[in-house]
Amino acid sequence: MNSSLKVCLSLALIAVSSNSPSISQTASSWQKLTQQGQEAAAKGDYKTAEMAYSNALDEARTAGKKDAELAMSLNNLGNLYCSEKKFDDAKPMFEEALGIVKALFGANHTNVAAELNNLANCYVGQNNLKDSESSYRAALAINQKSTDPRKSILASLVGLANVLLMEHKAKEAKPIAQEALAYVEKHPQQPISDLANTYSLCANVYLSTGDLSLAEPLLVKATGLDEKAFGKNSQQLAVDTSNLATLRQRQGKSTEASKLYEQSLGIKGSDSSDNNKIATLANLANMAMDKHQNDQAVDYFKQAIDLCQKDPGNNNDELMQLQNGLGCLYVEQNNLDEAEKLLFAAIATAQDMANPPLDFIATSCNNVGNALYKQNKFDEAEMMLKRCVDTRAKLNGPNNRETGLAVSNLAVVYASDKKYDESEALFKQAISIFESAPNSKNDLKNCYQNYAGMVQASGNQERATQLATKGNMI
């Protein structure tokens, strides 16, 4: 498994400006309820805040006007729902507020951009990255044309770059992140939290694009600001510390990287994210394996898997990778029963995803087939490797190198099971694939050697020698 890079952005959800003549300038029940909600939310008393904001929203609706008070009430409740991770409840709040703000200020007003930022952030919480990207782009288009000093352009830039990273579009994210960095350099009087977010985001983009020398000073800046901006037990500090560890790992500074990973795990506050801990533990497992500290790696893998399983269905991508990684490690340790269980579990996890990753499933079928083969469970191994062949042919095409490797592996299992006719047919198929597939010279040579071994086992020494000689000449 590759080292994992996690992005955490503590973006402040944006309130729509209340500078509107429709808001009463005198104290009102609505204002008191809104203030109660704000005070409770600041203390983390979400239950009280939700009740106050809901009552304020009822007051605003009772007035019968679609005005700024109603839009602000919808925003307050939507923001609170996001803080509680109730994104499905937050979405209709922001959608209704967006319609009101457009009617009040016009479609190209910066308040509309702010509302689009809120909605985009909510979409991220729902893992609806397509609509989130669209909303952030719409907000950015408004902000880039505006001269309003209160415009939320930095939130649009940072949010959009973050979503693009989540969509594995690092190259697209890079110019957006650079624009955000240029903005804070031109306008340095930003809140500390916004500066920390921007430095963190740009560093993560540079890490994803391999620009380590550009990422390093930004991550150092981000970690230096995080504790002051968010607190010593914040998710942001844990994530940035973990990402700095990833940077050190890629620089070959494994001792420093290990210390930073452990430091990230030691941030135990309520704000610290299980997602970050999962990524950090996975990275520590990989580092331990690189050092041949396999027992330590097993412990890290198990801790990460336990965290994934605390939130069923929401960490399937990480969970399947961890199950596969630990399963392969167990194969190396010859702990084949446990390997078999985990590798089958990895396939089941992948199949439960909305869009099952065929490449991963094919690889896992091959891995579990290998574990079964080593236990001389040939019938079961053949079944899994056949599935691997079928998946590879569907995903990569029947004449692709990856398909050839799957066919060759199945041929080896048939040979061990003394099914020589079936094995020979598959070896011939694999050779045909490797002869036409690019970058397959070594695969072709190995295939001939395995083919020769099968023929020798079947009792035809002369032909086996001919095949081995042909392979050696490649």
Tell me whether the CATH fold assigned to 170-272 matches the one assigned to 357-474. yes
How is residue 10 annotated by DSSP? -
pLDDT number for residue 7: 44
- pLDDT over threshold 90, residue 8: no
Return the CATH superfamily for domain 170-272: Tetratricopeptide repeat domain (1.25.40.10)
Give the DSSP per-residue string, 115-139: HHHHHHHHHHHTT-HHHHHHHHHHH
Q: Which amino acid is at 390?
A: D
User: Taking residues 8-18, what's their average pLDDT?
Assistant: 44
Choose the weakest-confidence range: 4-18, 77-91, 123-137, 443-457: 4-18
Region 263-278: mean pLDDT is 74
Q: Is residue 150 over pLDDT 80? A: no
Nearest CA among 32, 68, 28, 71 for reference residue 52: 32
Tell me the percentage of the chain whose pLDDT exceeds 90.
78
Alpha carbon distance 384, 380 (integer Å): 6
**What's the rounded Cα separation, in Å, for the pair 116 and 386?**
49
Express each pLDDT in 19-67 by its tens digit.
Answer: 443 444 333 889 999 999 999 999 989 999 999 999 999 998 987 777 8
Fold of 28-151: 1.25.40
With 70 as the cut, is the pLDDT of residue 6 above it? Answer: no
Percentage of the chain lying above the pLDDT 70 cut: 93
Instruction: Name the token pair of 363.
Output: 């690889």
Q: Could you give the CA distance from residue 227 to residue 241 in angstroms, rounded to a whole number?
A: 11
Contacts by residues 322-326 (CB-CB < 8 Å, ≥ 24 positions apart): 322/1, 322/278, 322/282, 323/349, 324/1, 324/360, 324/363, 324/364, 324/367, 325/1, 325/282, 325/285, 325/286, 325/301, 326/285, 326/298, 326/301, 326/302
- In this prediction, residues 207-232 reach a mean pLDDT of 94
Residue-level pLDDT at 273: 65
Question: d(Cα 307, Cα 150) in Å, to the nearest integer?
Answer: 41
Chain position carrying tokens 């869009």: 355
Point out the least confidently predicted range of 202-206, 267-271, 393-397: 267-271
| Residue 447 predicted with pLDDT over 80 | yes
Q: Is the pLDDT of residue 271 over 80?
A: no
Question: C-alpha distances in angstroms, 38 versus 12, 60, 85?
Answer: 14, 16, 18
- DSSP-based three-state secondary structure for 243: helix
List, for residues 181-190, the tens digit of each pLDDT value: 999 999 989 9
How far apart are the C-alpha atoms of 87 and 119, rounded to whole Å? 10
pLDDT in tens, 330-379: 999 999 999 999 999 999 999 998 889 999 999 999 999 999 999 999 99
Mean pLDDT throughout 197-212? 95
As a CATH number, domain 357-474 is: 1.25.40.10
Residue 269, pLDDT score: 56
Check residues 398 and 14 and name the one with the higher pLDDT: 398
The mean pLDDT of the chain is: 90
Check residue 215 and give its pLDDT. 96
- What confidence tens digit (pLDDT) does each residue in 74-120 have? 999 999 999 998 999 999 999 999 999 999 999 999 999 999 999 99
Across the chain, which distance is largest between two alpha carbons, in Å?
A: 102
Contacts of 297 (CB under 8 A, 6+ apart): 285, 286, 288, 289, 329
Residue 407 structure tokens: 């066919």
Residue 147 pLDDT grade (very low, low, confident, very high; cuts 50, 70, 90): confident
What residue spans define the domains of the chain? 28-151, 170-272, 357-474
pLDDT tens column, 284-330: 999 999 899 999 999 999 999 999 998 777 788 899 999 999 999 99
pLDDT at 149 (0 to 100): 79
Total Cβ atoms within 10 A of residue 358: 14
Predicted pLDDT of residue 226 = 93
Sequential DSSP letters for 215-231? HHHHHHHHHHHHHHHH-
CA distances for 407 relative to 328, 345, 424, 430, angstroms: 20, 24, 11, 6
Cβ contacts of 206-212, under 8 Å, gap ≥ 24: 206/174, 206/177, 207/5, 207/243, 207/246, 207/247, 207/250, 208/5, 208/165, 208/170, 208/173, 209/170, 209/171, 209/174, 212/247, 212/250, 212/251
- The answer to whether 216 and 240 have CB atoms below 8 angstroms apart is no
